[in-house]
A and B are shown apart, each in its own frame.
Chain A
Amino acid sequence: MNFAQTLTQSGLNAFLASGGIAPDPLSGWFTNSMLVAFVVMAVVLIFVKLATSNMSIIPNRKQNLLEFIFEFLYGQVEGVVGPKLAPKSFPILFTIFVFILTANWMGLIPGVGTVGFGKGSGFLTIDESDAHAEFHPLLRPATADLNMTFALAAVFMIVWIWIVVSEVGVKGFLDHTFGPKGGLTGFMKWALVPVFLFVGVIEVISIAFRPVTLSLRLLGNIFAGETLLHTMGHLGEILGFPDWLSMIGGVVFPLPFYFMEILVGLLQAVVFTLLCAVYIQVGASHDEEEHH
């Protein structure tokens, strides 16, 4: 087994030792990632409450930050969906962006995924003196939980359906999906109807898979980052360093990856949001607009 395989296997072991990709239940079906999701919700709502209290033309720092995010994102969304759809689609996209960004970055706070109970390593771990006991983190990144990412995607798809139907109607959507495109007329239009029907079926399947792709992309990236940080944190032990050096390595080795994960957290929030914006634009665009 070479070094890379050793690392991979060690990372897999670390991942499995931390309970795997599934969140740990804290009480019944209440999981550690749900706890973090509540914290994320509280953080977002408290910050927004503070930022929108006593709003003034000359903003304070919190209001300024919120307005900066708001205006930046509105510009991005307006650039994708256009000025007509932007007011209708912005609330869900803004909420998605802020929620995912907060959840991603809260997952990087030291202690999330590493503080818990059960079998583990390090002098701060509570050993339950059970050789088969597993480590159960008290907190897990909310977006490293399929339930959370799929919930985000599902809520978005419901809002997406509402926006599309209210914008182009059911008939417009069906025409747009299954109807002939490219302004065809006459014989060619009817000759290509089966092709466009087949393309429409593919499009419907593609739409049906959007929640899956959206949720798994976010889950995979955030979970990969979490696993990477865990692996880097245990790198000293994996390489057989002395305990004191492993402890220092546990702080030093993950450090560069923390900065990268900060960027990844932002990037994934942007990717998720902009993909949603693109889906809205594609679904709610009118045929006459496409012909232009």
Chain B
Amino acid sequence: MIALLAEFNLAVVPLLAAVEVHGAAAESSGGIGDAVAQFGFQWQSFLSQVITFLVVYFVLNKYAFPPIMGMLEERRRRIADGEENLKKIQQQLAQADERVGGMIDEANREAERLIADARDSASAQREQRIQSAVNEATNIIAKAHEASKLEHERLMGELKREFGRLVVDTTGKVTGKVLDEKDRKRINEEAAGQIAL
């Protein structure tokens, strides 16, 4: 504040004093025109300064403002475009997120369905395999039973024949008689009949 007051005192007072001095001089010698002249006003200098300033004004107006305005407008347009693109990208991103979310949900549902199908299929196949195995085992057992029965019958036939032959041989040896074909047949049948019992 003190500095400002000092500046006012030191700067304005000399100016006022100067004006007073020049004013007094002007009054004594010819009015406002002389007072203006005392301030250093000269038409030549004034016109020169006008021309100097006009040169700056016209040069800036013609060569500086258009490119600067154009550049600022271009930058403003790019920023606006960028903002617009950013909004579009954000919308697209949101849509993509939504779409990806939908696809993930769909994929999850599809995966669950496939897993369930696979589980059902596996279960059915297992059942089928088990059934097949059971059937096969049953067939094998049945075949084994059949084979066993056939073998038993075959063995029984052989046994009967062997037994009949033994009986015929034994009978022949015990009786000392040569048995004819008729006897042999009869003895074999009797022996086989005994075995069947």
Contact = CB atoms under 8 A, between A and B. Distances in A.
Interface of A: 4, 7-8, 11-12, 15-16, 20-23, 29-31, 34, 37-38, 41, 44-45, 48-49, 52, 55, 57, 59, 63, 66-67, 70-71, 90-92, 94-95, 98-99, 142, 145-148, 150-152, 154-155, 220, 223-225, 227-228, 231, 256-257, 260
A144 to B, nearest CB: 10
B53 to A, nearest CB: 5
B12 A20 contact: no
Contacts of A59: 71
B125 interface: no
Give chain B's interface residue range (CB within 8 Å of chain A).
35 or more
Contact of A21 (B15, B59, B63): B15
Given A49-B63, A92-B57, A152-B49, 14 more contacts: A34-B45, A37-B52, A44-B60, A52-B67, A57-B74, A99-B53, A145-B49, A146-B39, A150-B46, A151-B49, A154-B46, A155-B50, A257-B3, A260-B3
Interface string B60-97: 11011101100110110010000000000000000000
20 contacts: A11-B10, A11-B13, A21-B39, A29-B48, A34-B49, A41-B53, A44-B56, A52-B68, A57-B71, A57-B74, A66-B68, A95-B60, A147-B49, A148-B49, A150-B46, A151-B49, A152-B49, A155-B50, A155-B54, A224-B15
A152 B44 contact: no
B197 interface: no
B18 interface: yes
B50 A95 contact: no
A43 B84 CA distance: 41
Contacts of A94: 60, 65
Contacts of A98: 60
Nearest to A16: B18
* 7 closest A-B pairs by CB: A22-B40, A224-B11, A151-B49, A29-B44, A147-B45, A151-B50, A12-B14
Contacts of A11: 10-11, 13-14
Task: Name, among A30, A52, A98, the residue most crowded by chain B CB atoms within 10 Å (CB to CB).
Answer: A52
Given A225-B11, A227-B10, A150 B53 contact: no
Nearest to A219: B39
